[in-house]
Structure formats: C-alpha cells, structure tokens
Amino acid sequence: MSLTAALRGFVVLLCCFSVVKSQTDWKVKYYQTEICADKGSTVVILCSYDFPVMLNRVSTTVKKSFWFIRTEGEPVDLREDPEYKDRVTYSSSPKSCYLIISGVRESDSAVYKFMFITNHQTGRYIGEPGVRLTVRDLQVLLVSTSVQQEDSDVQLKCFIRCDPKGLEEYVWFINGEETRSRIQSETSQTFLYRSWNSSTDRISCSLRSSKTDQSPEVYAPRTPTVSLDPPTEILEGRSVTLTCSSDANPAAKFNWFKKMKSSVKILSQGPQFVFDSIQSTDSGDYYCKVQNYLGLKISDFKLEVKYAPKNISVSVNPPEILEGSSVTLTCSSDANPAANYTWFKAKNRLNAANVYHLPSININDSGIYRCKSENKHGWINSSVHIDVLYPPRSPSVHLSRTINGSGQILEGSSVTLTCSSDANPAANYTWFKENKDSPKSEEQMFTISDITAEDGGLYICVAQNKLGQQNSTVQVSVGSGSVGLAAACSIPAVLLTLIFLAVLFLKIFRRRSSGPLVIRSQDKDAQNREGSDREDPTSRHPAEDETEIQYATVTFTKRQEDPLYSNIEPVKAKRRRDAHEDKEDVVYSLVGPSRSPAD
C-alpha cells in the first residue's frame, strides 16, 4: 500500500517501525512515527512492546498500559480524558499495543505515546519518540491581492498540511458550484478571484479525488450589526459598550469611527468600543467598518444620549426695561428629551412655555422671575431680576429751619431745603434760585447757613435721571429782627396766620361800630377836664385819660403757585400783572395806646 493510498483511505494503518529503548530488554516498537489523516476519518496507531521476564529473580507482570498525549505533569490515560474517552479504543493482547481514534478532529493533531507499568518499583516505561498525528485540514489561503477602486483581484491557494508541496490535484467551488481557476497549473492549487465589496460569494476547494471533503468556505463580511450594553436608554454618565458583529471567513477586522462635521474620527480597533462615562457630547453618528481580504461592509449607527436639563439660560429683550415698554423673557436649556418650561414670579405660576411676554410693563412688574426647565430625567431652575426704569416723579420739597417761639424764620438762622423724588435709576438733584442761572447746590439737601433777607425768594429743585426730569419750588421768606415770615409752603403757619387775621378782623369790626360814642364821650370829658383843670390843675383820674385813634392796614395777598424753573422769567412778569390785577382788601383797625400817668 502506498503512502498516498493510505492517506486517502478511511482507516489508516501504521507500518511497523521499532524504536528500542537504550535500557536493555525494555522497548516499544511503533510502526510509523508520522501519519496524516483526513478530518472525520478513523485512525489506527499500531505498536508492540517488550520487557525482561525476570527482574531481580522476580517474575515481571504488566499492571497497567495506556496511551497519552500530554507531557505536562503525570501522564493521563486517554480513556480518562473528556476529549477522547468516547472515541478511543485500546488493544488487549499481551505485548501488542494499538490505538484506534474515531472521527478525528483538527484538535487531535498531536504526538501519541504508549506507556506500560510493571510490578517492579522502577518498572515503568514510556515509548519514545511516539507517533505524530496530523489531521489534514483543507484551507483556502490568500496568496496576494490587488485592490482597485471598487473591486480587487484576489489570488487564493488551496492548502493541505499533509501535502505541503501541492502534489495533489484540486477543485474550486463558488457557492457550492465547481468552477475553473483563471490561473492554469498542473494541480490548480491556486485560484484567481475578482472580489467586490458587495460580494456575497462563498469560495471553497477540495481534492479532486474527494470532492465531498471540501475546505471551509471563505467569504467577505456580511452586513454588520451593532448592539448596545445596556440595551435600554443611554443615560449620561453611565458606562456604555458598542459591539459590532459580522459573519466573515477569514475573521474580519473591526474599526469604529465617528462622523464629524467635516471629517471622520477614528475611535478604536476591535469589535467593541466602550464609553466609561458617556456624555451628551458623545451623541452623534457612528459607523463600524468590517473587512477581510475578500471585501468590506459598513454599518451606520446613531447614538443618542439622554440627560436631564442643563446649561439653562434666561434672556430679556430689550435688555434695558423702560416703563410702558414691551418685554419678552425667553428661557432655554440643553436637554434630551426636550425640556418643558414654566415661568414663576415668587410663588405664582405665570405660564407653561419657554417665552413669557409683558406687553406694557410697569413698576409693579419689577421683581425676580424664575424659569423651571424639566424633563423625565430631572429639572433645573434659573432666575432673572426685572428692574423697570422710569423718569423722576414730581418731587416733593421740605423746608426745615431754626425758628423762634412764634415760628418765624430769623435772620442769621440756618435753613435746610430737602428735595426727594421716586425714580429709577435714582435721581440727581440740583437747586436753583429764581432768576439765577448757576446752581446753588447739586445735593439732595441744600443748607443756607446764617440766612439774610437777600437769601429770601423762590428756590427750584430739579430731579433728573437719564430718562427725564421734574421740577418743584419752595418760597423762602426771611424776616428782619424779631419779625419773620413762615415759608409759603408751610400749611400750618398759613392756617395760623388766617385764624389770627380773622380774629383781628372781628375785633376791629366791633371797635368801629362803637367808635363815635367813644369819640363824643371823649370830647365832653375833655371840656369838663379843661374846666376842672383850670379850677384844679393838680387833680386827674386815670379813667378820664383821652383815647387817641390811629389807623393801620393789613394786606391779604393771593397765594402764588410755584412756577417751574424753566418759566422763572415769565413768572416774574406774571407776578407784576397779578399785583395790579388783585385788589387789596384794606381793613382799618383802631389802635389805642394807653397814656402813661405822666402824660
């Protein structure tokens, strides 16, 4: 039987080949030290062994014999190895050893050795060098490739380890159908194939003598699939693993990419790409590229990271808010899924939208406005302070002074004029005196120390901010000596003056109605006194003193309205006209000074 015939047979028998151990009379004979078998066939390995019949005058007997392949540690009987125990059979005849392995696999390729153990203390023997079994495996290997734009020419080779020189004759198959090689050779061991990226062809080869025993098929990668771990929603901050898988032979190489705006970013090599702590910025378009020498495939994948609202911002339009203007508040945030918005002022809910509009804002709308951005993963707040700007309101003025017991402004005293106005931004104040161009003060409080009659007059307060101005006036009247006039704006002083004048008027009216009687009585008494004086110049009674009548005038002037500073000059002229137009009410009063006894 030839070696080739033996290789093609279903059962392989090993020819006798003996190896004698150097130790005298201990030996194991193998029929052959190399054998090549087809995958799935049954292999028979034959041997014989011998040993001394007597050793130290003790008859030698074999206690145990077995086959093994593992050289690490103590040899293990193949019948006890889980990979072999159901597929191996041993011989049972004395000094004859054979091993039968059914359904050989590629993993069965190894060196097999026989070992026997006798009843003597040192009576164990391992047959060397053993038998090397090679389970031949038809393989399609790449010889070369020439890549074009859309396709490539691939040169393949059918290889069997038991026929390294390619002496056998081969047949090629595409998708199970026999095909001729484009490269002519005696054995057709090589095959030239044009591959397209989208190709689904499956290529194999076999020995011409055994077409049913074909090599594993080689083919380009199938369209890959991408899986997520965890498979649920991708939440920001969690660990996420992308896995790309594709059926291909030979095994494909994997690469991960992310599509950028104007480029592609290479992420990693290998079927998996891991995000240790995924962020919202990792959202985007990814793809997995799978390739072997027969072609490539690409699988697109969109990654969407879910997260609670963040980066919230509130804008106000217009930025400067004037009273009466239209104002729009806008709230925005970054969130996935998109956030819902709610506006609040204090604890009051305003609306459920990201925009809140105030068509005509007023000072009561000032305050803090809060926007709440929320989705199912969380919420966040942001607030803005609305400050409504408006020009000064009509200012109020106040006069404070040093007064005497009768409430009059005295020369030499100190007078402070205070001006106040509601305004936003806060108003600046300037004091002017009527008919004077230069300001007297640019402070809210204006103090006149050591006041004189020349300091009297009309003073104007101007309250101003960048949005406008308002004026108000105050009259300062200064009396000489112990006599003084209260300020025109002092209502209590005016009321007291009116009451005093009314009482005085009543007294004068009563005296005028009884005046003639007094005069006539006085004339008669004077004649009597003249006669008496002539009779007795030294005799006089206080009751008989003469009463002298004098006249005084009291003038009531109509109160003048406070003019605006811008109308100071016209007001002066107006007052002159008013002085002529207003009639003066003249009341005559009787002033009767008592004569001293010396008169």
How far from 165 is each of 9, 108, 162, 168, CA to CA, in Å?
Answer: 20, 23, 9, 8
Q: In 3-state terms, what secondary structure has residue 276?
A: coil
pLDDT in tens, 525-534: 434 444 444 4
Per-residue pLDDT band for 162 (boundaries 50, 70, 90) equals confident
439/462 Cα distance (integer angstroms): 10
Nearest to 586 by CA among 554, 562, 559, 560: 554
Fold matches, 139-219 and 396-489: yes
pLDDT, residue 579, reads 41
Q: Where do the structural domains in the chain lie, given as residue ranges?
A: 3-136, 139-219, 225-303, 307-386, 396-489, 504-533+544-581
Tokens representing 237?
Answer: 């901050």
Amino acid identity, position 267:
L
- pLDDT above 90 covers a percentage of the chain that reads 36
In angstroms, the CA 455 to CA 205 distance is 125
**CATH architecture of the domain covering 307-386:** Sandwich (2.60)
Structure tokens at 84: 């072999």
Q: What are the two backbone dihedrals, phi and then psi, of residue 37, each rounded to the nearest 5 degrees?
A: -130, 155
pLDDT, residue 186, reads 55
Banded pLDDT at 150 (limits 50, 70, 90)? low
Mean per-residue pLDDT for 286-295? 91
The yes-or-no verdict on residue 479 having pLDDT over 60 is yes
Please give the average per-residue pLDDT across 280-289, as a whole number.
92
Looking at 12-16, 218-222, 450-454, which range is the least confident one? Answer: 12-16
pLDDT of residue 425: 93
**Residue 275 pLDDT exceeds 90:** yes
**Range 14-21 average pLDDT:** 39
Angle, helices 491-513 vs 515-535, to 10°: value is: 60
Q: What is the mean pLDDT of the chain?
A: 77
Which range in 52-61, 210-219, 253-262, 478-487 is most confidently predicted, on average pLDDT? 253-262
- Annotate 468-479 with b (16+ C-beta within 10 A) or e (fewer): ebbbbbbbbebb
The domain made up of 225-303 has a fold known as: Immunoglobulin-like (2.60.40)
Is the confidence at residue 517, as pLDDT, over 60?
Answer: no
Sign of CA dihedral 237, 258, 301, 253: negative
pLDDT surpasses 50 at 556: no
454 confidence band (pLDDT: 50, 70, 90): confident
Q: What is the pLDDT of residues 384-434, one digit of tens each?
A: 999 999 999 999 999 887 655 555 678 888 999 999 999 999 999 999 998
Of 17-26, 81-90, 507-516, highest mean pLDDT: 81-90
Q: Rounded to the nearest 5 degrees, what angle is found at the Cα of 405, between the Cα atoms of 399 and 409?
A: 35
The per-residue pLDDT for 88 is 92
pTM: 0.52
CATH class of residue range 396-489: mainly beta
Alpha carbon 176 to chain centroid, angstroms: 58
Determine the residue type at 143: V
d(CA 208, CA 217): 17
Backbone angles phi, psi at 453, to 5 degrees: -60, -30
Q: Give per-residue pLDDT as tens, 326-380.
A: 999 999 999 999 999 999 998 899 999 999 999 999 999 999 999 999 999 999 9
Which token pair is 167? 């002496």
Q: Mean pLDDT across the stretch 314-328? A: 94
What does the alpha-carbon distance between residue 166 and residue 207 come to, in Å, rounded to a whole number? 11
Mean pLDDT of 112-136: 85
Return the ∠ at Cα 16 (arms to 13 and 17), rounded to 5°. 125
pLDDT in tens, 464-474: 999 999 999 99
pLDDT in tens, 559-569: 444 443 433 34
Helix (H, G, I), strand (E, B) or coil at 499: helix
Task: Specify the pLDDT at position 566.
Answer: 39
Q: Which of 80-89, 124-133, 330-339 has the highest mean pLDDT?
A: 330-339
At the topology level of CATH, where does 139-219 sit? Immunoglobulin-like (2.60.40)
Residue 276 has pLDDT above 90, yes or no: yes
**Mean pLDDT to the nearest integer, 141-167:** 77
Q: What is the mean pLDDT of residues 76-103?
A: 86
Grade residue 283 by pLDDT with cuts at 50, 70 and 90.
very high
151 in Cβ contact with 194 (< 8 Å): yes
240-253: b (≥16 Cβ within 10 Å) or e = bebbbbbebbbebb
CATH superfamily of 3-136: Immunoglobulins (2.60.40.10)
